[in-house]
């Protein structure tokens, strides 16, 4: 154990039940090893309301810390090792533009329900809650899209068009019932020329990491590893998912690796998602099966969180200098509502 890891361990031991460190699966191993709770976005959201610790340290990108702040109980504060760790996808939907587009869509009297991917800012979540919508994660997007479709005449899915397409495919919604919105800095481009009456309207955003995967990567994997099984995250393009054997959330990919290791020892599994998780799964199951990444894919924002920064925030907290995340008062309730709707629909 290095000196940084030892110092973190000492603070954790001294803090006892008053401290809880949470980490997203895309964090690197030097951070993950210190976490009390790890998970994907859905699992972490589910766990936060039940945490009794008065100090929660969230290792992930900024929107995740915001969500934890919304869901944490009274008397609990949320701290982040790296507040500047952002999500590039969430930056693709600035609140001013999101509000302008939504107002344009409902102006004609059509009931449009917003469904915001968890990878969005606090302000976008608040807008979603204000307009009767909810948040979703990749693990429950199918359930939440079905929920939203039953509550309006159409759904605007924000901001990941790839996840929206893949979930629509799972629900059997044809391509001609979807439309990727054409948007500029002011709002919809020539709305009269766009098929805005379609069932699903997709914001033109995407995960910059998962969008790197291309169909030929799947084809190359099957040549390089004959007989391999290929699975990928649904933030990949639908053309990639169509060539895979299965697709699912981060939690699904973890369970699939365990299943393959148990049921098909000696086989090869190729996974299309953020590389830190793939290498962790490869190490976990190395004695039973081979696991490889579909391609290089490291999230630079997740990588901003380091073991050294984790130690620094813990020292600030124990020294009385730690500044918790703060949520603007007018955004708190509508943003929290968009999250709690998801938890209620999916069951806590």
Helix (H) or strand (E) holding 82: none
In this prediction, residues 76-94 reach a mean pLDDT of 93
CATH number for 3-86+302-326 (one of 3.20.20.70, 3.40.1670.10, 2.40.50.40, 3.40.50.10800): it is 3.40.50.10800
In this prediction, residues 131-148 reach a mean pLDDT of 96
Helix, strand, coil percentages, rounded to 5, for the chain: 45, 15, 35
Is a pLDDT exceeding 90 seen at residue 315? yes
Least trusted range by pLDDT, from 38-42, 157-161, 255-259: 38-42
Give the pLDDT band (50/70/90) at residue 108.
Answer: confident
Q: Is 215 exposed, middle or buried (0-12, 13-18, 19+ CB in 10 A)?
A: middle
Fold classification of 210-293 is Rossmann fold (3.40.50)
In this prediction, residues 297-306 reach a mean pLDDT of 92
CA–chain centroid gap for 231, Å, is 18
Beta carbons within 10 angstroms of residue 165's beta carbon: 22
CB 38 within 8 A of CB 277: no
pLDDT at 145 (0 to 100): 97
In this prediction, residues 67-71 reach a mean pLDDT of 90
C-alpha to C-alpha distance for 293 and 177, rounded to whole angstroms: 33
C-alpha to C-alpha distance for 329 and 1, rounded to whole angstroms: 42
CA terminus-to-terminus distance, the chain = 37
Residue closest to 77 by CA, chosen among 107, 57, 94: 57
pLDDT at 329 (0 to 100): 86
pLDDT at 180 (0 to 100): 98
State the chain's mean pLDDT as an integer.
Answer: 94
C-alpha to C-alpha distance for 71 and 48, rounded to whole angstroms: 6
In this prediction, residues 9-25 reach a mean pLDDT of 95
Q: Is 180 exposed, middle or buried (0-12, 13-18, 19+ CB in 10 A)?
A: middle
R_g of the chain computed on alpha carbons: 21
Residue closest to 163 by CA, chosen among 199, 128, 202, 124: 202
Is a pLDDT exceeding 80 seen at residue 219? yes
More confident residue, 168 or 328: 168
Is a pLDDT exceeding 80 seen at residue 1? no
CB 213 within 8 A of CB 294: yes
C-alpha to C-alpha distance for 128 and 21, rounded to whole angstroms: 29
Least trusted range by pLDDT, from 107-111, 136-140, 219-223, 232-236: 107-111
In this prediction, residues 147-152 reach a mean pLDDT of 96
CATH number for 90-206 (one of 1.10.10.10, 3.40.710.10, 3.40.50.10800, 3.10.580.10): it is 3.40.50.10800
Is a pLDDT exceeding 90 seen at residue 73? no
- Strand intervals (E) in 159-289: 178-180, 183-184, 187-188, 200-202, 229-232, 246-247, 268-272
More confident residue, 320 or 163: 163
C-alpha to C-alpha distance for 197 and 42, rounded to whole angstroms: 31
Is a pLDDT exceeding 60 seen at residue 140? yes
Is a pLDDT exceeding 60 seen at residue 348? no
Question: Residue 249 corresponds to which tokens in the numbers above?
Answer: 């959330």
Percent of the chain at pLDDT > 90 equals: 88
Return the domain boundaries, the chain: 3-86+302-326, 90-206, 210-293
pLDDT at 322 (0 to 100): 83
CA–chain centroid gap for 162, Å, is 13
CB 200 within 8 A of CB 164: yes
Is a pLDDT exceeding 60 seen at residue 338? yes
pLDDT at 46 (0 to 100): 87
């Amino acid at each position: 154990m290095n000196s940084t890891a030892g110092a973190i361990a000492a603070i954790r031991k001294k803090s006892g039940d008053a401290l809880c460190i949470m980490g997203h699966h895309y964090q690197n191993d030097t951070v993950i090893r210190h976490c009390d709770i790890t998970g994907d976005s859905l699992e972490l959201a589910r766990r936060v309301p039940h945490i009794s610790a008065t100090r929660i340290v969230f290792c992930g990108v900024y929107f995740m810390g915001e969500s934890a702040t919304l869901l944490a109980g009274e008397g609990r504060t949320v701290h982040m090792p790296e507040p500047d760790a952002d999500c590039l996808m969430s930056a693709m939907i600035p609140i001013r533009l999101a509000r302008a587009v939504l107002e344009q869509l409902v102006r004609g009297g059509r009931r449009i329900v917003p469904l915001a991917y968890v990878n969005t800012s606090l302000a976008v979540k608040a807008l979603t809650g204000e307009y009767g919508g909810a948040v979703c994660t990749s693990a429950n997007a199918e359930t939440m899209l079905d929920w939203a479709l039953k509550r309006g005449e159409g759904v605007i899915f924000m901001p990941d068009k790839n996840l929206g397409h893949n979930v629509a495919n799972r629900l059997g919604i044809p391509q001609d019932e979807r439309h990727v919105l054409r948007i500029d800095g002011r709002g919809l481009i020539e709305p009269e020329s766009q098929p805005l009456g379609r069932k699903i309207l997709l914001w033109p955003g995407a995960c910059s990491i998962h969008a790197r995967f291309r169909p030929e990567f799947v084809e190359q994997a099957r040549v390089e590893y004959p007989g391999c099984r290929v699975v990928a995250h649904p933030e990949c393009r639908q053309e990639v998912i169509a060539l895979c054997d299965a697709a699912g959330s981060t939690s699904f990919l973890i369970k699939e690796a365990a299943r393959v290791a148990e049921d098909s020892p000696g086989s090869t599994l190729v996974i299309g998602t953020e590389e830190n998780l793939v290498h962790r799964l490869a190490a976990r199951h190395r004695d039973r099966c081979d696991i490889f990444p579909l391609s290089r894919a490291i999230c630079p924002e997740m990588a901003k969180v380091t073991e050294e920064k984790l130690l620094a925030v813990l020292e600030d907290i124990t020294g009385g200098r730690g500044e918790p995340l703060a949520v603007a008062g007018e955004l708190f309730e509508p943003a929290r509502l968009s999250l709690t709707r998801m938890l209620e629909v999916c069951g806590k």
